[in-house]
Amino acid sequence: MNTGCPNQECKIYLQNVFQKKDGHYFRADDSRFVQRYKCKICGKKYSSSTHKFEYRQKKRRFNQRIKEDYAGGKSMNRLSLNLGLHPKTIQRKIEYLAKKARYSERERQKILKEEKAIQVQFDDLITSVHTKLKPVSVSVVIAPKERLILGAVVSEIPAFGKIAEISRRKYGRRKNKHTKNLDLLLENLRPVIAPNAEFKTDEHKRYPELIQKHYPKSTHLKFKGERAAVAGFGELKSKRFDPLFAINQILAMFRANINRLFRRSWNTTKKENHLQDHIDIFINYFNEVLRNQSRKVRKRNKVKLIH
Ligand SMILES: [Zn+2]
């Protein structure tokens, strides 16, 4: 991959033409030879690394491990301790991983356009930023048949219930961005969801109008939100057939694999955008790796390959 001259003033800026190979250098960081190029128009020198997300990184060898561990319940502090990297390095790595994860999911959606999802489920997960008095909602949209997470968005919401009054007194009125953000998410997913798709959700009062707005030809089945029973040593058990099993199971995976979403955790989110970054990394890891751990999905994909 080489996507052209990085000189903004150059006539062929970012175009893959008129470039000359110009030797190579050895990158000690990950023991690789990197091809150098020279632009034939402006003479600017660059390399095959220039346009990559990893450009100018010094610890490339750790990227994959950080991604796996961060999407598998490890905290940033523990990563720093285990890998012997400075917390700031971990912080920067995570920002980079989130950017790359979003890019990779956008690429996946380009492929999904060919075969749009005909079944969709979505739901919200409540967590908080900094203190319980500042709750946020995470809306997650999935395609149960393909077992794919299509997208998720974090939204500020006002505190509700017993703590509403205290929250207002201490931090002022919080905006409710849930409807607006979910609206945007559903709109952005239009290329990958079939217009006549079947939506399954709980009875949240905002859902019908949003689905109707973006997918007027779809069907929407609403079910009473039923929480799985906690049996024995806190194991999740479904009491009876759960029509929303797919989304409930994936939200449970969010809770089990994203450290800051653990129940009874010391680890809390300090900034909303960092929660979004963490979720985006998890989604990418789920769609890339975890989803294929399901034997059912593997079997189905195999059948597809044969035909
Ligand atoms: Zn140039």
Q: Tell me how far the alpha carbon of residue 1 lies from the centroid of ligand 1, in angstroms.
A: 17
Instruction: Give me the chain's average pLDDT, please.
Output: 91
Residue 265, pLDDT score: 81
Q: Tell me how far the alpha carbon of residue 19 lies from the centroid of ligand 1, in angstroms.
A: 8
Residue 307, pLDDT score: 47
Residue 294, pLDDT score: 66
Which whole number is the average pLDDT over 242-266?
90
In whole angstroms, give the CA distance from residue 211 to residue 141.
12
pLDDT at residue 301 is higher than 70: no
Weakest mean pLDDT among 18-27, 100-109, 268-277, 298-307: 298-307
- Please tell me the pTM assigned to this model: 0.91
pLDDT at residue 81 is higher than 50: yes
pLDDT at residue 235 is higher than 70: no
Residue 268, pLDDT score: 84
In whole angstroms, give the CA distance from residue 265 to residue 146.
32
Which of helix, strand or coil describes residue 27? strand
Spell out the CATH class of 114-306: alpha beta
Q: Tell me how far the alpha carbon of residue 13 lies from the centroid of ligand 1, in angstroms.
A: 6
Q: Tell me how far the alpha carbon of residue 181 lies from the centroid of ligand 1, in angstroms.
A: 41
Q: Tell me how far the alpha carbon of residue 21 lies from the centroid of ligand 1, in angstroms.
A: 13
Per domain, the residue ranges of the chain are 1-52, 114-306
Q: Tell me how far the alpha carbon of residue 35 lies from the centroid of ligand 1, in angstroms.
A: 17
Q: Tell me how far the alpha carbon of residue 18 lies from the centroid of ligand 1, in angstroms.
A: 8
In whole angstroms, give the CA distance from residue 279 to residue 149.
11
Confidence band, pLDDT 50/70/90 cuts, at residue 43? very high
Q: Tell me how far the alpha carbon of residue 43 lies from the centroid of ligand 1, in angstroms.
A: 6
Q: Tell me how far the alpha carbon of residue 282 lies from the centroid of ligand 1, in angstroms.
A: 38
CB 105 within 8 A of CB 185: no
Distance of CA 31 to the CA centre of its chain: 30
Residue 293, pLDDT score: 78
